Each structure stands twice: as C-alpha cells, then as structure tokens.
Structure 1
C-alpha cells in the first residue's frame, strides 16, 4: 500500500508458532542486500505488548486501569512507533526496503482485549492508546472498523502488509508447549500460561487487518499471504512470495549451518536497556521460543504433515495435555478455522 512518496516498507503480520522465524530464515532477511530491519527482525511492539500485559492488566476492564497504567502503556506504544520511524528514516536514507515482523496482537489497541472479556469499550478508552504520528502523514487520523491497531489508517497505508498463517491444529498446541516450557523456566505461572494461550490463539486480528487492506483505495491487489505449510513443503510459493515482496531471491536459503543462536543476539529494548538481568531473562525466553529453529540445519518437514484431522489431533492432546487443556485447544482450533480457511484461500501459491 505504500505509495511512491513514502518509504518502501513492509510489516509481516504473524501470530505465535506460525513458522514466521523459519520464513525469515529462508528469506535470509539479515543478508538481504536491499533491506533494513532491526537485529530482532522487527518486534518493535514487543515491549509495548509486554507492558500492556504486565500485572494482569489485559485480564481487567480498561475502566479498572489506573491513570498511571494507561499512561505507561500508551507511552510504550509511542516509543515503539518512534523506533519504527527512526528505522524507516534510515532505510529511506540508504534507499532500502524497511522490514518488520510483528505479531498481530502486539500492536492491537489494548482496549480490544478488554472488549473481548468485559463487553463494549468506549471510543474514549480506545483513544487512550492510539499513538501520535508525525504531521507528514497528514492532518487527519482515522480508525476504520477493521483497524483495531494503535496506528491510524493514514499511517498504516504507507506500509505494505503481508501475512503468515498456519493451521490452528498445529499452531495452538505448539504454542501451549512453549508456554509450558516458559512455566518450567520460571517465566510464567500455570494460570498465566492458560491466559496467554487464550489471548494468542486467535486469527481474528490477522483477518481484520487483511480485510482492512482490501478496503483501502490505493490497494488494488490482494495483500501477500503465505501458509507455513507452503514454507515447509512448497519452495516455489516462498520464491514467489519473495519476488512479490520485492526481495532478492538469490539470497534465499533452504539449508544453513546449525548452532546459530538468534536468541543470543537479542538486543536490549527500553525495558532491558540498563538492566542486564532483564536482558538475560528475555534472551532465555527467546531461546525457548526459537529452540527448534536454532537446532536445525534446514526445513524439518515433520513439523507440517500434509493433512490434518482435528478429531485425531484432539485425541492426541488428551493424552499429552489432559482433558481440560485438550478442550481449550479444541475450542480455540475450531473457533479459528473459519479465519484460517479464509486467509488460506488468498495465499500465494506456485
């Protein structure tokens, strides 16, 4: 959606466990010659989302938040926006594509989490977290129905949005396993793992952003969508995605040296800037989420069976997780299937 008068820049919108880091590995994002990104490959809104979720805030109605809590979260989103703009300015100066990967709900307005669990939220509460963008993006700042983010329509239109999806019956149990490891490592309590899993196990925000793209007057083509199954089984689709994203296909890789630790390169954000213990904690958490990729030397096709039977998967979950969690995963999977199938029908194919 970016125009000729704005930087050529892309946000890859993901949800956890959709093989988004594998896609970045195959595209070889750090070594793309005409691209600029952060050392984390994006994640500009990580700190903002973690701030919003601190002390169980996302489980409370916004009306129950203190003024200080609201200010702290809005400031964190504003910092993320500022950092994103600083990188964009660098990319423009270097005549490069600006690239960022963000989970859909990381730059979601926190008011919509409250709306999910506590009913309708006022426009005034939503405005609390909407960021201020530079005047160069125009004097009007609108938020159309499918824009649930903290970023106004006028700003989002200056980015090309792309999406990665994965079958919920693969993504959601993988996420819960990762949350279990987080609990075992002392990062989360068991109840937090359940709460975070439910918050994360949704493709509705991805779909809403996809539909938002289709509504824009300067977006005559369907935005890019790639399925994790194609990343693993269909290299032609990844090559086409790479081409359509304006990236260099010659830099792509389907095999690599093992042992590279992306989590070790996790750079300080504002929460860990002057706090070595917090940085070490974030690096450890990243190593849990990236363990499969960091231990690989290429694409592991066992991680994506060609076909799935949800009933058969539920039977496996009951054995692995017990009846309660299996029921949680089944409901989240079946609830997400319409959004997944809708997005899958619009994916890049080869």
Structure 2
C-alpha cells in the first residue's frame, strides 16, 4: 500500500494532443476485475468534462439485485414465469430510462456522460447459461424500448438487450483480470454477502457467481466494437497493469480525452463510504436497504479500507494448480472444481483480451 504517484509522467508520453472527450463513455466490467479500483484512480466525479452519478454508474444494478433476491440467477431464463420475465424487462427499461435521463442532463451541461456497468447486466439472460464465443444470433428475445432519436431501424448483431444503433453512440472500455484471481474472489464475496446479509442463498450465490465467471461476453462485445466502422477501438485495462504500471491510467486519459490531473493513486480514508449508500441504487426494494449496504460493504470493503494501490493484490505469476489446492480448503472440493473449470475455460478469452490491452 502507498503512493506510486511519482511514477506517473507529468507529460503525455506519446507526444500527441489529448483526444476530445467522447459524448458517451461506457466502462464494461466483470465483477472482481478491479473496476472499482480503476474508478478510484480515474476519479470520474472530479473529471470536469464528465457527468456521472454518485456511484459512477451502476444504473442496471436493480436488475442484478432483483434477479438475485427473487432467485432468477439460479435458473435459466427459459424457466422463468411470464411474470418474472416481465418484471426483469421492466427493471431493464427503468434502468435504461434513468441512464438516458442523466445523458440528457449531460447534453444540457455540454458534458460527456460516464457510466460503469457489469457486462452481464446488459446481456440477454436467455444466453447467460449457454455462452457461445462464435457467432451471435441476430435476434434477442428480451428487448427494451429505445427512443427514435437513435434511428428507426433496430438490429442486434451482439447479445445485449440494446440495439446496435444505440450502442454505436458510446465509446466502450473494458476491465479484465486473471481468472484465477477474479473468479474465487467473486464467489467468496457473493457467498459472504449471502451468509451475512441474506442477499442470496447458496444456490443463488453459486448461480450468480458461475454466470459471471467468463470473459466470453467481454470478448464478444470487444470484437463487436472493433467491427463497427463508427466506434473507436475500446481500451482494455488489465488489473495487473493498472496496479503495477500506473502510466496505463494516463494513457487511458490521453485516448479518451479525460483530464489526467484528476487521477489519484493514493487517497485518505475520510469516513465517506460509497457502500453506506448503496441501497439508494435500488428504490424498488426499500425493505432490502440493509442487505444492499451489507453486500456493498463486503464487495467494496478492501478498496474502502485502502489508501492507495496495493501491488500484492495482483501477483505477476499465477499457478492455477496451486490456487486450486487453496480453493479446496476454502470452498470444498466440488466448488473448487467448478471454479477451476471456469478459470481454465476463461483463459483463452483472457489471453486474447490481454493481447489487445492498453499498454503504457
């Protein structure tokens, strides 16, 4: 722990003029890929050209929380009742409308909008249990209403609930982390949130964890962006590089037009914890405010207890077999096996994305 701010160059390293800030910047993450740490470093709330909310995004969090609380994460979407399906789509629409509301405010203030969302929150849930890393079907059965201002046509060449025409108005960015570090951390956090906060039961914790233990969706969305002639190539931030090579954050600012003077690599614990207000994200379940706060305290606990980047959190080399032995002790043989399978299944996508990552 401690400052590594001295490692940050004071001038742009490539000699290029900063890019103009995008009108919309969407950071898509997978849980436990240090995306909240990246937000801490990026400091979007202090970026003068950006408009965001108090949580730097998470507009689609009510979709996740409701799916978890109502047991939808433990079964395939084809087994949902019509009422569950309609409930899910209604929450997606509400989340989208809230995001668009902030976008309109940003336009009036001549600012760019910024949000961070977990990629699986935007994926058609009918596909979450049957990930295909090859071709994506052209139609998705779960869709929400998008304003005509984004065009009259609606095409779906990617697996999200949002049409291509809308997604092309965003500049994307992604976060990744070695699966053998991210996936056990994910299950550990969700399991603890269930045990201590009653957020999900064991089946829900397992279902929510396993459905997120993939970089397949990240890869599909990245490749989709690259294939679009009017969408900039998205930067990919690897947690290892963020922690060990902080110049990556500077390069991110150069590419996206953000203010590099707002970056922070150390911070003080001033008593203000985002997790304490996490329940404000989901107005649909006021009876679950405490559960939301407890879950957020668990998921954000390490970051909120820190005062800077911690290099020991992301080692240079990861031995999957050695890690598996630790998982057996902590989670039991069955779950350790499921985590190892997910890790090994994710390595191809992770290495592919890492090969395209932003480097300082």
Shift of 1:284: 1.8
- Once residues 7 and 134 of structure 1 are traced to their aligned partners in structure 2, the CA distance between those partners, rounded to angstroms, is 20
Q: Please name the residue that 1:97 is paired with.
A: 112
CA distance in 2 between counterparts of 1:272 and 1:287 reads 20
Name the CA distance, whole Å, in 2 between partners of 1:237 and 1:114. 34
Sort the Cα spacing of 1:183 and 1:59 in 2 relative to 1 into closer, same or farther, 3 A: closer
Aligned equivalent of 1:266, options 268, 271, 278 = 278
User: 2:216 maps to what in 1?
Assistant: 204
In the other structure, the counterpart of 1:132 is: 145
1:158 lines up with 2:169 in the alignment: yes
Q: Deviations over 1:47-84 (max 9, x none)?
A: 12333445333444444333222221111111111111
1:312, distance to aligned residue in structure 2 (A): 1.8
Q: Which residue of 1 aligns with 2:295?
A: 285
Whether the 8 Å contact between 2:186 and 2:209 is mirrored in structure 1 is: yes
Aligned to 1:3: none
Match of 2:34 among 19, 31, 37: 19
How many residue pairs are counted as aligned between the two chains?
Answer: 335
2:116 counterpart SS class: strand
Residue pair 2:22, 2:256 contacting (<8 A) in 1 also: no
Give the match for residue 310 of structure 1: 320
Query: Which deviates further from its counterpart, 66-75 or 51-60?
Result: 51-60
Q: Deviations over 1:76-122 (max 9, x none)?
A: 111111111111111111111100000010111112125459xxx99
CA gap of 1:56–1:264, structure 2 versus 1, over 3 A, is closer
Q: Structure 2 CA distance, aligned partners of 1:59 and 1:138?
A: 36
Moved more, 237-246 or 295-304: 237-246
DSSP 3-state at the match of 1:268: helix
**Could you give the per-residue CA deviations for residues 26-57 of structure 1, whole angstroms, max 9, x where no partner exists?**
11122111111111110111112333445333
Determine the structure 1 residue equivalent to 2:265.
254
Partners of 1:15 and 1:165 within 8 A in 2 = yes
Contact 1:222 1:346 in 2 (8 A): no
CA distance in 2, matches of 1:19, 1:253: 15
Question: Larger RCO: Structure 1 or Structure 2 (Cα < 8 Å, ≥ 6 residues apart)?
Answer: 2
Q: Aligned in 2, Cα 1:310/1:254: closer, same or farther, shift over 3 Å?
A: same
Residue 10 of structure 1 is matched in structure 2 by 25
TM-score normalised by structure 1 residue count: 0.90
Distance 1:269 1:280 in 2: 12
TM-score (norm 2): 0.87
* Displacement of 1:256: 0.3
- Counterparts of 1:44 and 1:30, CA distance in 2: 15
Match of 2:3 in 1: none
RMSD: 2.2
Note closer, same or farther for the CA distance 1:298–1:143 as it changes in structure 2 (3 Å cut): same
The 1-side partners of 2:327 and 2:73 are apart by: 27
Q: Which consecutive residues of structure 2, in runs of 5 or more, have no partner in the other structure?
A: 1-20
What is the SS of the residue equivalent to 2:70? helix
**Are residue 73 (structure 1) and residue 88 (structure 2) matched?**
yes
- For residues 76 and 316 of structure 2, what CA distance do their matches in structure 1 show? 42
Is the 8 Å Cα contact of residues 226 and 233 (structure 2) preserved in structure 1?
A: yes
Change (3 A) 1:193 1:303: same
Question: Secondary structure of the equivalent of 2:54?
Answer: coil
Q: Tell me, yes or no, if the aligned pair for 2:68 and 2:204 is still in contact at 8 Å.
A: no
1:234 match: 245
Alignment pair present for 1:213 and 2:225? yes
User: Of residues 184, 203, 211 in structure 2, which corresponds to 1:191?
Assistant: 203
| Structure 1: gaps (5+ residues) | 1-5
